[in-house]
Amino acid sequence: MASNNIPSNEIHTPVLLERCVELLAPALERPGAVLVDATLGMGGHAEAILSRFPDLTLVGLDRDTEALAIAEERLKGFAGRVHLVHTVYDGIGEALDGLGITEVAGILFDLGVSSLQIDRVERGFSYSKDAPLDMRMDGTAGLTAESILADYSERDLKRIFQDYGEEKLSARYAKAIVEARETTPFVRSAQLVDVITKATPVAIQRLGHPAKRVFQALRIEVNQELAVLERAIPAALDRVAVGGRIVVMAYQSLEDRIVKRALAAASGSTAPAGLPVELPEHKPLFSLLLRGAELASDEEKALNPRATPVRLRAAERLRRAAA
């Protein structure tokens, strides 16, 4: 059912909602708690969490102006407790500074493409439906998938397909795209899918849609997702108060590796090897709340197929670094 006058076809079940609430609750129950939803989307997680913690203040960040507008309407019943900021999530520090907030009790990241972006055909994120080759999460940004396909060299196309799509046929696809664009510019997703499909051996086509990894790579390049995430997690960790918690949901291995490395570094001792006693200044700043990445249960996947690839990680701040 839709709420706050949002069309029902724009409302989706938030991924791992109950688990996220469970992990964040010990921090959010504290008086004056502030939660940063660093990937607000349409406000599904935010609405549920605000409802359960009546004294909580929420700071919602998103680069997508359309999503922010929907979330603003959805969360209008919590007026006075919600601050929405148009920014990419590596701008978390600047966003909090602008609100005069130094530390927060909790931070939630729900990475990847939002339901809104996937379901809006005209945004061009899907390889299964013909649309303009856009793929911008922030419609005010300049770089698009169309401009990448028009301007990038064969070598650079190969690089992003290989690095961001983990595509084994990256060289073949890059060559096919460069050859095809000499006669017809790429402006629609169906054109790209056609070129990729023709360049893919039939035996490999049977293993899954041949354009999936290329579209992922283009989306990551357009939105600089991995570079942004590399900056965002350390910036977020720096703002978590002692006893506060961070919860991160990633949907593909490249994102999850970045999150895993950042949390491992924050939760590890900095004591030199061989030191007989760990001095206080070397003790970990954070403690991992989960062993490895937690996956969605079969029940969750059945109820919400978007949860199928999710990898959940969480940590709690133990202490502040010495000045």
pLDDT 10s digits, 209-222:
899 999 999 999 99
Domain boundaries, the chain: 8-110+225-317, 121-223
More confident: 5 or 207: 207
The answer on whether 110 is annotated among ligand-binding residues is: yes
Instruction: Look at residue 126 in the predicted model and tell me its pLDDT.
Output: 77
Percentage above 90 pLDDT, the chain: 73
Average pLDDT over residues 131-146: 88
DSSP SS3 for 122: helix
Residue closest to 114 by CA, chosen among 160, 59, 66, 58: 66
The answer on whether 62 is annotated among ligand-binding residues is: yes
Instruction: Look at residue 323 in the predicted model and tell me its pLDDT.
Output: 64
Strand partners, 86: 62
Instruction: Look at residue 120 in the predicted model and tell me its pLDDT.
Output: 62
- pLDDT band of 138, cuts 50, 70, 90: confident
The answer on whether 251 is annotated among ligand-binding residues is: no
- pLDDT band of 2, cuts 50, 70, 90: very low
The answer on whether 117 is annotated among ligand-binding residues is: yes
Apex 13 CA angle, 9 and 15, nearest 5: 140
Average pLDDT over residues 134-152: 90
The answer on whether 83 is annotated among ligand-binding residues is: no
Burial readout 164-189 (b: 16 or more C-beta within 10 A, e: otherwise) = bbebebbebbbebbbebeeeeebeeb
The answer on whether 89 is annotated among ligand-binding residues is: yes
Distance, in Å, from the CA atom of 271 to the CA atom of 299, rounded to the nearest integer, reads 43
The pTM is what? 0.88
Question: Between 154-165 and 212-223, two packed helices, what is the crossing angle to 10 degrees?
Answer: 100
**Residue whose token pair is 């002692």:** 242
CA 296, 300, 304, 305 dihedral sign is positive
Sequence-separated (6 or more) residues with CB below 8 Å from residue 313: 247, 248, 250, 256, 259, 260, 263, 288, 290, 293, 294
Q: Is the pLDDT of residue 139 over 50?
A: yes
The answer on whether 139 is annotated among ligand-binding residues is: no
Give the pLDDT confidence of 255-302 residue by residue, as tens digits.
999 999 999 999 986 666 666 666 666 689 999 999 999 999 999 999
Q: In this structure, what are the phi and psi dihedrals at residue 313, rounded to the nearest 5 degrees?
A: -135, 150
Determine how β-strand 311-317 pairs with β-strand 286-288. Answer: antiparallel
Apex 96 CA angle, 94 and 98, nearest 5: 70
DSSP SS3 for 4: coil
Distance, in Å, from the CA atom of 188 to the CA atom of 140, rounded to the nearest integer, reads 20
Average pLDDT over residues 149-173: 97
Instruction: Look at residue 6 in the predicted model and tell me its pLDDT.
Output: 45
**Of 113-127, 171-185, 280-294, where does mean pLDDT reach its minimum?**
113-127
Distance, in Å, from the CA atom of 44 to the CA atom of 12, rounded to the nearest integer, reads 7
Instruction: Look at residue 10 in the predicted model and tell me its pLDDT.
Output: 47
3-state helix, strand, coil in the chain (%, to 5): 45, 15, 40
Distance, in Å, from the CA atom of 316 to the CA atom of 237, rounded to the nearest integer, reads 9
Architecture in CATH of 121-223: Orthogonal Bundle (1.10)
Percentage above 70 pLDDT, the chain: 88
Domain boundaries 8-110+225-317, corresponding CATH code? 3.40.50.150
Q: Is the pLDDT of residue 97 over 70?
A: yes
- pLDDT band of 111, cuts 50, 70, 90: very high
